[in-house]
Structure 1
Amino acid sequence: MSQRLTNGYYSVNITNNSNTRKREYIHKLVYEAFNGIVDTTVLKIVHKDHDKLNNNVDNLAITWRKKSDYRSHKNYAYKVKMQQILRQEGL
């Protein structure tokens, strides 16, 4: 498996048994390997030191995808959904 730079991030192509290829970013794979699956529709994985090539697990953090997602957490239904996601991820 060889890695390449995609949009400034290291990535790899992963192929499943039915030969469907999917590009995955290394920092996402590293974070999920140590912390569990992340719902990327609401959350995103960021580099603490802003160095896109430093994929050390200690350098990765999770944050809200958009400011509007952060603001809407006051909505009770949204808050319950986020608690379920975070509970599943062990955060």
Structure 2
Amino acid sequence: MNIEIILFIMLLVYNAGMVYAVQTAYSRGLENGYKLSKGKEVKAHEYKTKEREPDITPVEEKYLDNLQKSWSNIDNYNGTGEGQLDID
């Protein structure tokens, strides 16, 4: 094949990928709070969104607290036995 044909095909594939990326970003923007209503853009904080579950559950929060305490105990270890890992 001719190099020009190969480059042209690569350009077409690249353009198709860019169109797909822009369309995907636009549709996700609509899902995340930007809606066009009668030609007007509405910001996310201007309309109610459905309630979402918290990002961190109480069990995960307790685990993260214990993990942070454990790391601080390791940092405070001075060779006398104090500051050993304290796992609840």
TM-score calculated relative to the size of structure 1: 0.19
Q: With CA pairs under 8 Å and 6+ residues apart, which has the higher RCO, 1 or 2?
A: 1
TM-score calculated relative to the size of structure 2: 0.20
**Greater helix percent: which structure?**
2
